[in-house]
Chain A
Amino acid sequence: MNTLNKGLAVCLLAFGYLGVAHAILPIEKLDPHKGAKGYLVQTKALPMVDIEVSIDAGDRYDPVGKSGLADMTAALMNFGVRGDQGILNEAQIADEIADLGANISLSVGGERAILRIRSLSRKDLRERAVKLAAAMLSAPTYEAKIIQREKQRTITNLLEAETKPEYVLGRSFTKSVYGNYPLANSPTVKSVAAVSYADLVQFHRQFYRSDRMIVSIVGDVDRAEANQIMQALLQKIPQSGPAVEKLPEFQRSPVEPLAQRELRIPFDSQQAHIAMGMTAVTRSNPDYFPLLVGNYVLGGGGFVSRLMSEVREKRGLAYSVFSYFAPGKDTGIFQAGLQTKGDQAALALDVMSSTIAKFIADGPTPSELLAAKANLVNGYPLRIDNNRKLLDNVSSIAWNDLPLDTMEIWTKQVEAVTLEQVTAAFQKYLAMDRMRIVVLGAQNQ
């Protein structure tokens, strides 16, 4: 191990941090419109444009007993809208998108709903795609027959998912780690069945308004065109609406005896699936970078992390093993996980726990820290080398209220991280006696 570290140090010296000082494309602030913010990165090489609307309308706003409402409110926008020339049904919407050679997608996460358009940048094509997306956002019809059909499809998918180990594990872990926060509740057959037309209309009215929206644009448009796109998208959307109740505080995972933190689920699959984690930090937390660098060493660095080394390389216990921080705007969690043959579950959990515990206690070694920083800094250009990735970055910066020069100073912030900061941050936010654990497998019977 020693010689290996030495070899690593030599190669780090050899490669250093050279050659990463390329100009990073600037993010331009668009003119605020109807309470919404807008951002643009101009890239002219390809005649295409990617547009995103983020809406503060994620799953966390699902009312009690109606989990799945936020998802359905967004998904059903594909299936009927009131446009300028009357109603467009689902077939007409799909045909129009296809005829434009565009893609329009809707997705919903814990915090926000996201609409994305990918279009050719030629004015008439792009304008039609934007117009259609604007109608989807502002005037979905929520036709009764389609609500019924899509509820049934969702329920069928849920029943199928409940036979899959990864889904059952994920749902149980989510429930355990989110505690009293609304994200604890995943959709169920009952909660989806309970969603009505009135619920959809009410949710749409309450959350799909421009003061809860952010527009991000990357591609072959100039600033004036981007402002027009933003105005067109928001034209028919009300600026504000009914008050939204404040969400409960996301409370830190409490210290508890193991029996209360650990859940064992009998499940007749060949592999046991294991998840471990707890509440952590938001993206804007000043300790974000020490945690990012530290987690690279612990379980984020692909083939070279400690978890990978202990679980896979040394013992052959799993194909996939990982840890990550999922920092959001208002909430964030840490999670680690693996899957292993049923009769190895206890051993694998033991190895994973002791690896994480040791890392929290002792932090990384100096050479590990150096290797983590070298990878993150040298690899930064790969995080921003096409329109899609740029949009992901702009979107995150906008949603999380980060400074507009975030991409420019990212590598400097990584380089500035010290050993002491990593260790202190891990000890501040993570603790083994707070970790929620879910083990799912046949051995639990």
Chain B
Amino acid sequence: MSFKLLRITCLFLFLTQLSWAAGSGSADTHEFTLSNGIKLIVREDHRAPTVAHMVWYRAGSMDEVNGRTGVAHVLEHMMFKGTDKVKSGEFSRLVAAVGGRENAFTSRDYTAYFQQVEKSKLDEVIKLEADRMSNLNFDDAEFLKEIQVVMEERRLRTEDNPSSLLNESLTATAYMSSPYRHPVVGWMNDLQNMKASDARDWYRSWYKPNNVTVVIAGDVDAKQVLSVVEKYYGAVSAHELPARKPQLEPPQKGIKQVQVKAPADSAQLAMAWKVPRLEPGKLDDPEPYALELLTAVLDGYDNARLNRILVKQEKVVNDVNVGYDMISRGPELFLISASLAKGKTVAQAQASIRRALEELKQKGILESELKRIKVRILSEQIYKRDSIFGQAMEIGSTEMAGFSWRDINYMLDKMQTITPEQVQAVAKKYLLDEGLTIAVLDPQVRKSVASQEGK
């Protein structure tokens, strides 16, 4: 055992050095701010002749107001429906013509658009993206068709998906006032009552250069990129943004529970605790890092605690997952979710989870457990550089949460300084019933499934 520990230590030291050598990236990354407020971040990576171009608007579902949930995502769809110069659908045709891959995505914190192209095609997609930043112009007929598409998307991903329904109810129960309580895709009734003017209002309010970060990663020269970006994006003028109210979630005063009945075979259990996130300007707060490491100690690899105890030893659940993300604009949950093993009850699963957490709170974690996690984090820093797009994603999402891309390495270094005691301390401090929400999926037989072919 001690031999093994020594081995881990050696590897750990090696990886720490490696991360300074290969993980940095700050020499290859350049930041500029245009006079209209657009922030441009360029990561030069010359391994292959391709480039990822991403435009991040700091407006997501958390910026929506009651009755208009889902509008951030609806507008994302409408961004492909034409500008003064480019007809509906032609944006995608033009990107396709240069061999580009494109899409867009909306989260609680932001809306982002991207194209991946061979490097000589970058100017063309910048030109297109800059055009729709200020000249979007879709007609009502396009809206009426597209809102149907969005409702189909909600049916596909939520209405017919019990895990999504459970998660939606969990979130809406855990938060009372935070806009995080609303699903990104929006409530169905809000979608049914949405008007083209709601989407246009959203666009006019938030799609301003002073609310934008452009991230370009790949085989480019930062100075050349800057001049192209200035030429196209620089023409757009800044505009005052709507006031963002803090809408801070009041402290929870006791356990909350919610049950969801939906067609499924196994019951599911989700337990979510209110926990802190990393806040800009407070990068030395150890708690968010400790919570990230706690997540990995519980669920970071095949022999991590919850999988080992609940799935393999006690066989009380079929699968278990732990989720926490310290980087976000809004409040965070520490989420443990499990689908039940055959013949086991939700009460048994919950008791097992609580026992495993209690043991960790009482006895702490092993130095070797934590080292194992830290080694993984370091090696992932090298693996992630294999993907240009992944690097652009990391920069953009970090920026949207109010941090700088320069903070990324600082955070990773900070993560390596966290001790087993600090991990134990956050478990003791935050995994308490006062801030706990429990959601249970109560499986229902689907009415029409009986006539299926043989089992």
Stretch at the interface among A13-21, A31-39, A54-62, A429-437: A13-21
Cross-chain contact of A270 among B92, B124, B155, B301 (Cβ < 8 A): B155
> Roughly how many angstroms separate A393 CA and B382 CA in the complex, as a whole number?
22
CB distance from A340 to the nearest CB of B (A): 6
The residue of chain B having its C-beta at the shortest distance from the C-beta of A46 within the complex is: B385
Answer whether residue B447 sits at the interface, using C-beta atoms and an 8 A cutoff.
yes
The residue of chain A having its C-beta at the shortest distance from the C-beta of B10 within the complex is: A124
The residue of chain A having its C-beta at the shortest distance from the C-beta of B46 within the complex is: A45
Answer whether residue B414 sits at the interface, using C-beta atoms and an 8 A cutoff.
no
Answer whether residue A375 sits at the interface, using C-beta atoms and an 8 A cutoff.
yes
- Give chain B residues whose Cβ lies under 8 Å from the Cβ of A94: 301-303
A276-310 vs B: 1/0 string, CB under 8 Å? 00000000000000000000000001111000010
Answer whether residue B97 sits at the interface, using C-beta atoms and an 8 A cutoff.
yes
- Asked whether A268 lies within 8 Å of B449 as measured between CB atoms, the reply is yes
The residue of chain A having its C-beta at the shortest distance from the C-beta of B300 within the complex is: A98
> Roughly how many angstroms separate A382 CA and B300 CA in the complex, as a whole number?
31
CB distance from A90 to the nearest CB of B (A): 7
- Asked whether B156 lies within 8 Å of A99 as measured between CB atoms, the reply is no
Answer whether residue A424 sits at the interface, using C-beta atoms and an 8 A cutoff.
no
Stretch at the interface among B143-151, B272-280, B416-424, B426-434: B143-151
- Asked whether A15 lies within 8 Å of B116 as measured between CB atoms, the reply is no
- Asked whether B89 lies within 8 Å of A165 as measured between CB atoms, the reply is no
> Roughly how many angstroms separate A319 CA and B159 CA in the complex, as a whole number?
14
CB distance from A79 to the nearest CB of B (A): 9
Answer whether residue A265 sits at the interface, using C-beta atoms and an 8 A cutoff.
yes
The residue of chain B having its C-beta at the shortest distance from the C-beta of A267 within the complex is: B448
- Give chain B residues whose Cβ lies under 8 Å from the Cβ of A115: none
Cross-chain contact of B152 among A271, A304, A378 (Cβ < 8 A): A271
Known: A46-B22, A47-B18. A95 touches B152 (CB 8 A): no
- Asked whether B94 lies within 8 Å of A11 as measured between CB atoms, the reply is yes
- Asked whether A46 lies within 8 Å of B96 as measured between CB atoms, the reply is no
Cross-chain contact of B455 among A172, A189, A382 (Cβ < 8 A): A189
- Give chain A residues whose Cβ lies under 8 Å from the Cβ of B443: 163
> Roughly how many angstroms separate A319 CA and B153 CA in the complex, as a whole number?
5
Answer whether residue B67 sits at the interface, using C-beta atoms and an 8 A cutoff.
no
A312-347 vs B: 1/0 string, CB under 8 Å? 111111111000000000000000000111000000
- Asked whether B118 lies within 8 Å of A382 as measured between CB atoms, the reply is yes
CB distance from A240 to the nearest CB of B (A): 32
The residue of chain A having its C-beta at the shortest distance from the C-beta of B218 within the complex is: A385
- Asked whether A316 lies within 8 Å of B149 as measured between CB atoms, the reply is yes
Q: Which positions 411-432 of chain A face chain B at CB distance < 8 Å?
A: none
Answer whether residue B252 sits at the interface, using C-beta atoms and an 8 A cutoff.
no
**Can you report 25 A-B residue pairs in the complex whose CB atoms are below 8 A from each other?**
A18-B120, A22-B49, A48-B383, A90-B303, A93-B302, A99-B372, A100-B11, A120-B15, A125-B11, A149-B315, A156-B341, A265-B452, A267-B446, A267-B449, A268-B263, A271-B156, A313-B88, A339-B152, A375-B100, A378-B121, A379-B99, A379-B118, A381-B118, A382-B118, A385-B50
Q: A12-B97, A316-B152 are in contact. List 17 more A-B contacts (CB 8 A).
A: A20-B99, A22-B49, A47-B382, A48-B382, A48-B383, A90-B302, A95-B301, A100-B11, A100-B379, A153-B318, A163-B443, A175-B453, A303-B89, A318-B152, A319-B152, A371-B97, A379-B118
Using a CB–CB distance below 8 Å, which chain B residues touch chain A? 4, 7-8, 11, 14-15, 18, 22, 47-50, 80, 87-90, 92-94, 96-102, 116-121, 124, 144-153, 155-156, 159-160, 162, 263-266, 300-303, 308, 311-312, 315, 318, 339, 341-342, 372-373, 375-376, 378-380, 382-383, 385-388, 443, 446-449, 451-455
Using a CB–CB distance below 8 Å, which chain A residues touch chain B? 4, 7-8, 11-12, 15, 18-20, 22, 43, 45-48, 78, 90-91, 93-95, 97-103, 118, 120, 122, 125, 149, 152-153, 155-157, 159-160, 162-163, 165, 168, 172, 175, 188-190, 265-271, 301-304, 309, 312-320, 339-341, 371, 374-382, 384-388, 442, 444-445
